[in-house]
Amino acid sequence: MGLIIHNDKINEQVANDLIKLCPFGAISYNGELSIGSGCKMCKMCVKKGAPGAITFEEEVVPTCDKSKWNGVAVFAEQREGKVHPVSLEMIGKARDLAAVTGHEVLAVIIGYNIENCAKELLKYGVDKVYLYDDKAFENFVISPYANAFEDFIAKAKPSSILVGATMLGRSLAPKVAARVHTGLTADCTILQMKDNTDLVQIRPAFGGNIMAQIITPNTRPQFCTVRYKVFSAPEKTEPTGEIIKADITEKMTKSNTEVIKVVAKPKETDISDADVIVAVGRGIKKAEDIDYIKQFADKIGANIACTRPLVEAGIFDAKHQIGLSGRTVKPKLIITLGISGSVQFTAGMRNSDLIIAVNTDKNANIFDIAHYGFVGDMYEIIPKLSEMLGGTENV
C-alpha cells in the first residue's frame, strides 16, 4: 500500500498547496512532486489536496490455496551414507506438528547409494520418503541439490519444510526458498502449528533479548532451519511408510561446478555431540584458572566449552562457544564455572539433562535454570565435584 503521485494532475500551484497541507514537511516540488521519508501516512494530502493529485492505494496481498499444500516435510541430510542426527530430531518435531492438522510426515533425501538411509527414516515414523539417488548427488554441489529439492516441492507440495541449520542446510535452504518464492526463518528454537496449517516459527532476535514469532500466512511452502540439539529424536517404530524413488533427469543434475577432489577435514570433537561439558565464563580471570579447569574436565571425561567473551578475548576458539552465536548443546551433564547466565548463553544449553552451576554470585541468573547450584570459590568446589563424578584422582 502507499501514496501514488499523479504528476499529470499537478502544476506549481497544486504542488504549493500540497506542500502547505503536509504537517510533516515531507512533500517537495522540483518540476515533479515527491514525498520524502518524513511522511507519516496521515493522508492529509489525499483528503484535502487537489482531487486525484495524490491517491492512496491498498496493497494487494497475494494469497494461496492452502488446501493444495499438505504435509510437514524434513530435509534429511546424510553424510557418507549416514543420516545426520539433526534430521532425526526434526522428524520428531515434524510428527508433533503434523498431528495438529492430520497431515503426513514427509522426508526428502538426496545423495548416492543412500537407499539404506531412506529405509532408516521410515523407522522414525516418516510416512513418505522421497529418494533422489544418483551419482551426480554423491558430493554436495548446490545446483543439483537445489534442482532435486525444487522437484520434490513441485511433486509433494508440502505445507511446511524443516531443514537442519548445518553448513549444508544453511547453504541450500535460502537458494531453494528463493526459487519457490517463499520466506525462510533461520535458526528456529520453537515451532508451533496452527489449525489452519500456519507454522509459527519462533527464534531469538535482537541478541536474544526477545523471541520473535514469525508466520508466512500467504505463501507456501513455509521454510525454516532448525539448530542441532534443539528437539529430540523419536523412538524407532515398525516402519509403515513408503519410499518414492524420484526420476532423475539430465536437467536436474546439470551444474557449472565440477568437483575435482574431496579432501577430508581432520575430524574434531564437536561440543554439540558431547555428553559431558565443562563450560567457563568471564568469571574466570587468570590463565591458571583455565589450566586448572582443563585438568578437571580431562579427569571427568568432559569437553570444555566457553561463553562469547572468552572467544573475543582470544582464549578459546569459536568452535568451543555455546550460545546464540555459537553451538547449541544438549549433554547429559553440563557444569558451568563463572558463568552469569545471560539469555544468549542459556538459549544454547538450557535443554541439557543435568545442569550444575558454580558461581561466587548467589544472584547469578544461571541459578534460575541450574538443577544444582554451588555458591563459592571453584578451587574449593571443583575437588568435591571431581570426587562425586568419579574423577580418577583428586584435582
- Specify which residues 68 forms β-bridges with: none
Read off the C-alpha cell for 335: 557444569
Q: How far is CA 306 from CA 62, 235, 268, 296, 367, in A?
A: 46, 32, 17, 15, 17
Tens of pLDDT along 319-357?
A: 999 998 889 999 999 999 999 999 889 989 999 999 999
Classified as helix, coil or strand, 381 is helix
At 264 the pLDDT is: 80
- How many other β-carbons are positioned within 10 Å of the β-carbon of residue 295? 13
Tens of pLDDT along 288-297?
A: 788 899 999 9
Going along the chain from its start, the domains and CATH numbers come out as 2-57 (3.30.70), 66-253 (3.40.50.620), 271-388 (3.40.50.1220)
At 388 the pLDDT is: 82
At 247 the pLDDT is: 95
Report the C-alpha gap between 41 and 3 in whole angstroms: 8
**Alpha helix segments (H runs only) across the chain:** 12-21, 44-48, 85-101, 115-122, 142-156, 167-179, 250-253, 287-299, 308-312, 343-346, 378-388
At 393 the pLDDT is: 45
Q: What is the reported pTM? A: 0.78
Question: How would you classify residue 3: left for phi > 0, otherwise alpha for psi between -120 and 50, otherwise beta?
Answer: beta
Q: Are strands 242-245 and 276-280 parallel, antiparallel or unpaired?
A: unpaired
The one-digit pLDDT tens for each residue of the chain (395 residues) are: 689 999 999 999 999 999 999 999 999 999 899 999 899 999 999 999 999 999 998 877 777 899 999 999 999 999 989 999 999 999 999 999 999 999 999 999 999 999 999 999 999 999 999 999 999 999 999 999 999 999 999 999 999 999 999 999 999 999 999 999 999 999 998 999 999 999 999 988 776 677 889 999 999 999 999 999 999 999 999 999 999 999 999 999 999 888 888 888 776 778 998 999 999 998 887 777 888 999 999 999 999 999 999 999 888 999 999 998 889 999 999 999 999 999 889 989 999 999 999 999 999 999 999 999 999 988 899 998 888 877 544 44
At 394 the pLDDT is: 42
CA dihedral sign of residues 182, 183, 188, 194: negative
Is 34 within 8 Å of 28 (Cβ atoms)? yes
